[in-house]
Structure 1
Amino acid sequence: MSLRRRALLAGAAVVPLAGCGTRAVEGGFVAGHPERGHLLRDGVAPGGPPVARRAQVVVAGAGVAGLAAARALRARGIEDLVVLDLEDEAGGNSRAGVLGGLACPWGAHYLPLPGDDAREVQDLLEEVGLRRRVAGRWRYDERHLCHSPQERLFSGGAWHEGLLPVHDADPATLAQYRRFAAAVRSAARAARYTLPAGEPQPAQLALDAEPFARWLDREGFTAPDLRWYLDYCCRDDYGAGTAVVSAWAGLHYFASRHGFQAPGEEGERDAVLTWPEGNAWLARRLAAPLGERLRTGRVVLRVAEGRHGVEVDALDLASGALERWQAAHAVLALPAAVAARLLAAAPGPLRAAGAATRSAPWVVVNLQLDAPLADRPGAAPAWDNVLQDGAGLGYVDATHQRLDPRPGPTVLTWYHAPGEAARGELLQRPWSHWRDLALADLAPVHPDLPRRLQRVAVARYGHAMAIPVPGARARLAGLPLRGPRVSLAHADWAGYSVFEEAFTLGHRAGEHAARARARAA
């Protein structure tokens, strides 16, 4: 979706320029329509009788999980399906837009190379041409692998390679880095950590029972630089810090992927796939084959199982009509709290798990610049640029993957996880508030940022991702997610939000629905 003037309803705002007065900068909110999601909460009474519709399978939700379910259904020969979504474009948190002719993400911006436990994701990457076997070994298209340098940290007045603060670490801090690396290895030996995560093992459930910060305190991990880094990792992946997420989540971040390498230890972070438009590159390829089977601007209001099928009510926002879909099976690729509320006669454990799910708000601010920013001393500009103790989570350069070495206009994507208490601010604050927050965070490091700024696009997500709080893994274990007529598929049911979980749960729900149809036939 291009950033059109009609998407910038707030118009232009004045940005102060040091020594140059002020000038107008166009900006506004993009991507989401919170009022649509709130129709379910506030209640809606469609006028007139419902319009009857039919499909073999109805998929509610066109995020990554819903698109994966639709792909699995089509792979099993089921073409009579419909995918309903309340937004105007598929992709959920993996949507994107254009600023000044440059693609940029409204949400998720990368995918780590999947391990063997994520076979469904591996198959997808092979299907879209990102992965192929050469001389008996798998190779990834280097054009889509994150170009070097991948990440850097601003600390102590200079940029440093990598995100772990090591430039002025004292011996005690270095010793804690080594001890934490050993603790991650020990956790991995005690229980297998995978992406996607399987059923939790006893050692993992013990860690799930307490906050990560309490576990770190008890284990003597008190070095400020280590604690900052671990808190940053949790806020970046889960939308909440070490005081909120479980010890299982804190260790899973490392043990399921690249481990934790202390300074001097061999190893490096996993390679990642990324695009100027972020994970919308994948979402759009999943959505494209659906054609008219993808129905956007629909708010699902009710899902009811019957003796011979399922009934799904959805409000068509364009016409105001209520559509009543009759289907043999429904896949609810919706947040846990929403799915549990929509599903009539939902089992008690599902309702309880949905109600107990805590979600993190998220803000993504894209800043269009007329030229690259002047830089501070130290490491060269990277794809991911993080400020230690910054208000946000740093910024990604949308033109980092560009092969043309000549400097030119760019877009910086600034990420912010404001915390659950700030959810109300997302609706109350104007777009310029979030622009100013991004500028206040970045301008001390890039003083020329206000002068270079041309346009701003702010994406808000009130319930961006499930937070893996203590007890979440235990609460979600063994839930009945797939039944004879309704399947549930969303990253919320894994307890945290990453592409691998959403895609795998969606794929498996789609395959289950296809098998259910085959048995019925």
Structure 2
Amino acid sequence: MAALCAWIGCVFAACSATPDSFTRFDPVRLRVTASAAVHRRSFLALAASLLALPGCERAPAALPAGGFGTDDLARGHALRERLAQGLDLRPDVRQRTRVLIAGGGIAGLAAARALRLAGVPDVALLELQDSAGGNSRAGQLGGLACPLGAHYLPVPGDGAPEVQDLLEELGLRRREAGRWRHGGDGGRHLVHSPQERLYLHGHWQEGLLPLQGVGAGTLAQYRRFGARVAQLARTAPFAMPTLGTWRAGQGLHPEIAALDAVTFDAWLAHEGLDDAWLRWYLDYCCRDDYGAGSARVSAWAGIHYFASRHGFAAPGEEGDVQDHGVLAWPEGNGWLAQRLAAPLQAAAQLHTGRAVLRIDEGADGVQLDALDLASGRVERWQAERCVVALPTFIAARVLGAGAPDVVHQAARRLPRAPWLVANLHLSRPLQDVPGAAPSWDNVIHADPVPGGLGYVDAGHQRLAGGALLAAPTVLTYYQALGDVPGARAALATQDWTHWAAPMLQSLSAAHPDLPDVATRLELTRHGHAMAIPVPGTQAFLSQIGLQSNKNKGLQLSNGERARVLPVPATARLVFAHADWSGYSVFEEAFTRGHAAGLWAA
């Protein structure tokens, strides 16, 4: 029976494959020809029924020890329940500071850094979690650092001088022989080669763009798409951060407006780009950056992914970008968050475990109530100004009726993608099937896990060789759940095993020894992780009234002055979050936080 089930499983997989892979299937030198396709549907039904027989099920991967870690969802929902029960919110403690920052994600940390550069010593930052960083927090598993969210930063271009300045401050960017070098210490912070690979047709290929077994028509569409991206990058203002391309009082650039008005799928169909391999790859890229796929995000977002950074180079063609390296660390962008938070910690200005309950703007200042989750006491803060570095839906809630109408509009108009991040501790690196060598980013084509994006390997950035290569490591697996119906509710209600079992089953297809080496799995839930750039998002956000930034003093740590970006603000409140760009990446959050900090100085 076992042999029969194995044979049926192989043929079932072949018959379920795409046309290109179907013609390539050859399990035991058996060539499946087009004539076999005549009975394909009836055979699939037979095979499915046989696989359902006792003894024919695929054995599920054994689950290691594990569970949910402390995350935004757990704390946010716990606070909501306590408020619903009539929690007494009278202040127990009163505090005063000059500038208050609500929210310790990258935008809030960037605002604190800008205030420090501007010479403002009296600052306090309040953060819900036990560590700052927001979507860029880090953790540890089995003594090894790992990301709890964002895990890399592409080398920023000249459109992001604020981020470039941060990298200079941290020793990750410096001038050598007339050229900028990134990565620090001989490039040790750049992702080492090989960078990425794709599990396809039972083995690994280099890169994520499907190449194995694709036909001439697919390659032609790769080239056509690359040419369109290059053309749009020349004629329309694609840049990161996007705020620098918005034209005050003039609306969006016509080409940007047209792309923002339709979904990426609709634009691709209009362009005649319908190849299944290309469409899978583009959908993957959208889910990876935006939390939702090409059927949901705008065409602007789909093109922006490539045109604002590294372009799209078809096989055999060179890209236009001179330097498109990626900075990464075992703990992901937590490495950056920890260094941004360090000056605040040293000055006792970082207050973690604080849930912001209410923000009131008055004629004489700002009043904020926060719950200290450890003590249960309510703190009342008074400040001259407040940087609201919170997601728009939370900002609308804590400001209530006092919020500017645009905050409530943004909260209503920006759909949000939930995410799940799984860190899996291994007693040793996994054995590999044939193909490309183990890489930093490892993706399974057509991953059966809903929203599955593959995993990064924390051990990939080790510089030492020999015995260390056989040492324990941590894999970080990502699920973008913006397209999965009911995902947010499931994150709140389902046991951790509901998420763990299919993920481990999927990974075991490429790594059969995974159950033998997996020791612990910890899941981090992000119920409202990021805004999804659906059609119309850029049109809405670009029309928001912004205040000019009057701070013309020192702006960068190297003493240089950069552009002074306008900010969404009232008399005493300034808003800083990646939501105000319509999608969540480090560059957008940091630049908006930096501008808000200068405004509040």
The residue aligned with 1:62 is 104
Kept in 1: contact 2:61–2:508 (CA 8 A): no
Which residue does the alignment assign to 2:464? 404
* 8 Å contact from structure 2 (residues 152, 329) kept in 1: yes
Q: Which amino acid aligns with 1:389?
A: A
CA distance change for structure 1 residues 169 and 341 in 2, over 3 Å: closer, same or farther? same
Relative distance call for 1:73 and 1:266 in structure 2 (3 A) is same
Cα distance in 2 for residues equivalent to 1:177 and 1:345: 50
What letter matches 2:362 in structure 1?
G
Separation of aligned partners in 2, 1:56 and 1:393 = 43
Deviation of 1:490 (Å): 0.5
Cα deviation for residue 22 of structure 1 reads 9.8
TM-score normalised by L of structure 1: 0.92
Query: Match for residue 286 of structure 2?
Result: 234
Match of 1:216 among 243, 247, 268: 268
**Contact 1:47 1:320 (C-alpha < 8 Å) held by counterparts:** no
Tell me if structure 1 keeps the 8 A contact 2:63–2:501.
Answer: no
Q: Tell me what 2:180 maps to.
A: 138
User: 1:117 is matched with which residue?
Assistant: 159
Task: Report Cα offsets for 1:142-164 as digits up to 9, x if no partner.
Answer: 11000000001111111111110
Structure 1 residue 24 displacement after superposition: 7.4
Equivalent position amino acid for 2:380 in 1: R
Partner of 1:444: 509
- Greater CA deviation, 501-510 or 268-277? 268-277
Deviation at 1:49, TM superposition (A): 4.0
Q: Is the partner of 2:331 in helix, strand or coil? A: coil
| Match of residue 37 from structure 2 | none
Map 1:221-370; keep pairs closer than 5 Å. Answer: 221-267=273-319, 270-291=324-345, 292-343=348-399, 344-370=401-427
Are the counterparts in 2 of residues 371 and 410 from structure 1 also a CA contact under 8 Å?
yes
Larger fraction in helix: 2
Distance in 1 (CA, whole Å) between partners of 2:575 and 2:300 is 24
Give, as a single letter, the amino acid of the residue that structure 2 aligns with 1:297.
Answer: G
Partners of 1:86 and 1:100 in 2: CA distance? 25
**Cα deviations across residues 71-117 of structure 1 (Å, max 9, x unaligned)?**
10111111111100111111111111122221111111100000001
Give the match for residue 96 of structure 1: 138
Distance 2:91 2:131 in 1: 27
Higher strand proportion: 1
TM-score, normalisation: structure 2: 0.80
Between the aligned partners of 1:472 and 1:153, the Cα distance in structure 2 is 32
Structure-2 residue corresponding to 1:84: 126
Describe the SS at the equivalent of 1:314: strand
Residue 196 (structure 1) aligned with residue 235 (structure 2):
no
Residue 400 of structure 1 aligns to a residue whose secondary structure is: helix
Cα shift at 1:442 = 0.6
Flag the 1:48–1:493 CA change in 2: closer, same or farther, 3 A: closer
Of residues 446, 462, 466 in structure 2, which corresponds to 1:389?
446
Distance in 1 (CA, whole Å) between partners of 2:63 and 2:308 is: 47
CA gap of 1:463–1:22, structure 2 versus 1, over 3 A, is closer
- Report the counterpart of residue 495 of structure 1 in structure 2: 582
Q: Percent identity?
A: 59
Q: What code does the residue aligned with 2:126 have?
A: L
How many matched pairs? Answer: 497
Change (3 A) 1:23 1:114: closer
User: In structure 2, how many angstroms separate the alpha carbons of the residues matched to 1:119 and 1:214?
Assistant: 34
Give the aligned residue type for 1:499. Answer: F
Task: Give 3-state SS (helix, strand or coil) of 1:454's partner.
Answer: strand
Could you tell me which of 162, 179, 201 is aligned with 1:156? 201
Greater shift after overlay, 161-170 or 234-243?
Answer: 161-170
Is 1:125–1:131's contact at 8 Å kept on the other side of the alignment?
Answer: yes
Which structure 2 residues correspond to residues 23-62 of structure 1 after superposition, within 5 A?
25-38=64-77, 41=80, 43=83, 45-62=87-104
Distance between the aligned counterparts of 1:310 and 1:458, measured in 2?
A: 37
> For the structure 1 residues 64 and 22, does the alpha-carbon distance in structure 2 shift closer, same or farther, using more than 3 Å as the test?
closer
Q: In structure 1, what is the equivalent of residue 550 of structure 2?
A: none
Rounded Cα–Cα distance in structure 1 between residues aligned with 2:63 and 2:280: 37
Where structure 1 has 5 or more consecutive residues not aligned to the other structure, the ranges are: 1-17, 515-521
- Compute the displacement of 1:25 (Å): 2.9
Larger radius of gyration: 2
Listed as ranges, the gaps of 5+ residues in structure 2 are 1-56, 247-251, 547-567
- Aligned residue in 2 for 1:129: 171
| TM-aligned CA distance change 1:507 to 1:434, over 3 Å | same
Output one character per residue of 1:40-84: Cα deviation in whole Å (capped at 9) or x when no partner: 655353354442210001100001000000010111111111100
Distance 1:21 1:397, change over 3 A: closer
Match of 1:169 in 2: 214
Look up the match of 2:478.
415
Is contact 1:46-1:315 (8 Å) kept? Answer: no
- Structure 1 position 39, deviation (Å): 5.7
Task: Kindly report structure 1 stretches of 4+ aligned residues shifted beyond 6 Å.
Answer: 18-24
Does the CA-based 8 Å contact 2:287-2:293 persist in structure 1? Answer: yes
Deviation of 1:266 after TM superposition, in Å, equals 1.0
Distance 1:28 1:39 in 2: 18
Equivalent-residue separation in structure 1 for 2:419 and 2:406 (angstroms)? 28
Secondary structure at the aligned position of 1:395 is classed as strand
